[in-house]
């Protein structure tokens, strides 16, 4: 017994030594890399590099054409100067605000209709939509054993990582995974769209039960329910939700479904699809891209930033205290030290992101009905002061509109939807856009995407190891 104990403690000490050696090694190498791997900004300018695939005026380099979605955030005057305008977003030529408003007016669900529109390029008739919903309904249940073998056995703190792994694992459950014909990719797309609600909800339940020590609830999806209803059913321990909650979630899904070809995750879909790879690999890559806090992960980053703000601002009704906090954020002295105010700024939108306006309207109503006006005011303050504070700190005039991620987290919180699930909800909505773009890449892109990097490392003579 005592021999065993000694062996155990010696092994433990060895492990601790090895880990601290590894840590010291990585720290020292990281310091070196941070010094040696830098390429001066001047070289990027001299070699006319389209850094971040952007032109000098911040507009994106045109790398493709698409009919799926269009994002408009600026225009040019006759002299070629960029002019800020209110943002517009079109799904297959239809203004997303019209789709949103029609669903509100008619008090109905619209996400499935939007998915049909994005995939097939036209609005469905009633019977086409009913048939489509039945088809999606038949794909809600995960393959037999999938939840047990692929989700519950390896829970993750990040539901997005779990989701990417689940998407990759779906390959093994497909009898014809590598066929990239349009017909087969469409079949795979419908299957993934149907399965995503269960993948994210069960990924979340696995996390709750494994890391928060809470009871495991795996409610089965119901084919007749909409995407939003199934998500709420599978997320909530009791499986209960109200019609208003489900319709608000549905509106948010509509707003997140598509954003042109150039956003990071959709571009990832195009890029990876252009190599001819399978649907699961392409969609897993898109999930990975969306997770980043500069992209879809910003909705969770906003909530984390708010949490930090609440801990560091004594009185959240005091605007000058909030302002001091935001200045610290911009100086990289508060929150995650990135210098970013999450939920603000956009690659295309200048004055406004139409989705943020609609989500803000939802957030305001929820704030009023749930007594969350003070918290809502903090968001509004950040939105209204972001650009001015950025100018104060950086000396640069930069449009900083509220983007889609600023108010979505507030809406989810008010709907009692867990923070962890905010980016996975974005993924569930955007999957429709990704699939439509993957199909478009296969049908009409047809070129391996392969940009160029200029080599700037001087050539060196190889030195044999004994001479170094």
Ligand X SMILES: O=C([O-])CC(=O)C(=O)O
Catalytic residues: 346, 405
**Closer to ligand X by Cβ: residue 132 or 267:** 267
Contact call for residue 405 and ligand ACO (CB under 6 A): yes
Q: Which of 197, 296, 354, 424 binds ligand ACO (CB under 6 A)?
A: 296
SS (H, E, C) 327-389: HHHHCCCCCCCCCCCCCECCCCCCCECHHHHHHHHHHHHHHHHHCCHHHHHHHHHHHHHHHHH
- Which of 253, 404, 414, 435: binder of ligand X (CB under 6 A)? 404
**Residue whose pair of structure tokens reads 């109905």 in the numeric block:** 108
Instruction: Classify residue 61 as exposed, middle or buried by CB count within 10 Å of its CB (0-12, 13-18, 19+).
Output: exposed
Q: What is the CA radius of gyration of the chain?
A: 24
Determine the 3-state secondary structure of 394 from DSSP.
Answer: helix
Interface with ligand ACO, residue 248, by CB under 6 A: no
Do 398 and 391 form a contact (C-beta atoms < 8 A)? Answer: yes
Q: Greatest CA separation found in the chain?
A: 86
Residues 56-75 that bind ligand ACO (CB under 6 A): 58
Residues 347, 402, 411, 422: which binds ligand X (CB under 6 A)?
347
Binding letters toward ligand ACO, positions 348-387, x by CB under 6 A = ----------------------------------------
Run of H or E residues at 43: helix 41-46
- The answer to the question of residue 398 lying near ligand ACO (CB under 6 A) is yes
What mask of x and - would describe binding to ligand X in positions 236 to 275, judged by CB under 6 A?
-----------------------x---x------------
Contact partner at residue 156 from ligand X, ligand ACO, none, CB < 5 to 8 Å by partner kind = none
Choose one: 121-129, 183-191, 345-353, 441-449; the region binding ligand ACO (CB under 6 A): 345-353
Taking the complex as a whole, the smallest distance from the CB of residue 117 to ligand X amounts, in Å, to 17
Residue 342 sits in the site that holds ligand ACO (CB under 6 A): yes
Q: What are the tokens at 40? A: 């001066």
- Which of residues 111 and 390 has its CB atom nearest to ligand ACO in the complex? 390
19: its two tokens: 């880990």
Q: From 3-11, 66-74, 163-171, 399-407, give the range in contact with ligand ACO by CB under 6 A.
A: 399-407
Residues that bind ligand ACO (rule: CB under 6 A) add up to a total of 21
Query: Least distance in Å: CB of 168 to ligand ACO?
Result: 23
For the window 321-340, what string marks contact with ligand X as x by the rule CB under 6 A? --------------------
Say whether residue 291 binds ligand X (CB under 6 A).
no
Please check whether residue 193 is in contact with residue 436, taking contact to mean a CB–CB distance below 8 angstroms. no
* Binding of ligand ACO by 430 (CB under 6 A): no
Binding mask 249-288 toward ligand ACO (x if CB under 6 A, else -) reads: ----------------------------------------
Residues that bind ligand X (CB under 6 A): 71, 259, 263, 347-348, 403-404
């Amino acid at each position: 017994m005592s021999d065993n104990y000694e062996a155990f403690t010696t092994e433990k000490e060895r492990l601790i030594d090895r880990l601290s050696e590894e840590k010291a090694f990585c720290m020292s190498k990281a310091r070196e890399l941070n010094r040696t791997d830098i390429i001066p900004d001047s070289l990027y300018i001299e070699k006319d590099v389209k850094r971040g695939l952007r032109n000098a005026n911040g507009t994106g380099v045109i790398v493709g054409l698409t009919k799926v979605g269009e994002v408009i955030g600026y225009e040019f005057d006759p002299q070629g100067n960029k002019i800020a305008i209110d943002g517009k977003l079109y799904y297959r030529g239809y203004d997303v605000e019209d789709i949103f408003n029609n669903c509100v007016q008619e008090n109905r669900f619209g996400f499935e209709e939007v998915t049909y529109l994005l995939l097939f390029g036209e609005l469905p008739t009633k019977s086409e939509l009913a048939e489509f919903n039945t088809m999606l309904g038949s794909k809600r249940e995960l393959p037999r054993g999938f939840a047990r073998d692929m989700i519950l056995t390896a829970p993750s703190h990040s539901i997005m990582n779990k989701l990417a792994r689940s998407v990759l694992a779906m390959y093994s459950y497909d009898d014809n995974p590598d066929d990239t014909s349009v017909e087969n990719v469409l079949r795979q797309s419908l299957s993934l769209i149907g399965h995503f609600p269960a993948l994210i909800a069960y990924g979340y339940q696995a996390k709750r039960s494994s890391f928060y020590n809470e009871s495991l609830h795996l409610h089965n999806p119901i084919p007749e329910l909409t995407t939003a209803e199934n998500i709420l059913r599978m997320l909530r321990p009791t499986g209960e939700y109200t019609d208003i909650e489900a319709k608000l979630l549905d509106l948010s899904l509509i707003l997140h479904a598509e954003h042109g070809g150039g956003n990071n995750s959709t571009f990832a879909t195009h890029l990876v699809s252009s190599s001819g790879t399978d649907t699961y690999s392409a969609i897993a890559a898109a999930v990975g891209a969306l997770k980043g806090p500069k992209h879809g992960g910003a909705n969770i980053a906003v909530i984390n930033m708010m949490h930090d703000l609440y801990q560091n601002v004594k009185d959240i009704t005091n605007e000058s205290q909030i302002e001091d906090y935001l200045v610290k954020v911009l100086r990289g002295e508060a929150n995650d030290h990135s210098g970013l105010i999450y939920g603000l700024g956009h690659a295309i939108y200048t004055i406004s992101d139409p989705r943020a306006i609609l989500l803000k309207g939802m957030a305001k109503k929820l704030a009023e009905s749930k007594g969350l006006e003070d918290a809502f005011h903090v968001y509004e303050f950040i939105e209204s002061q972001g650009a001015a504070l950025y100018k104060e700190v950086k000396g640069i005039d930069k449009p900083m509109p509220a983007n889609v991620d600023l108010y979505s987290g507030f809406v989810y919180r008010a709907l009692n939807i867990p923070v962890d699930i905010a980016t996975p909800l974005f993924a569930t909505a955007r999957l429709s856009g990704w699939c439509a773009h993957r199909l478009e890449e296969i049908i009409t892109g047809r070129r391996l995407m392969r940009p160029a990097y200029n080599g700037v490392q001087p050539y060196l003579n190889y030195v044999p190891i004994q001479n170094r």
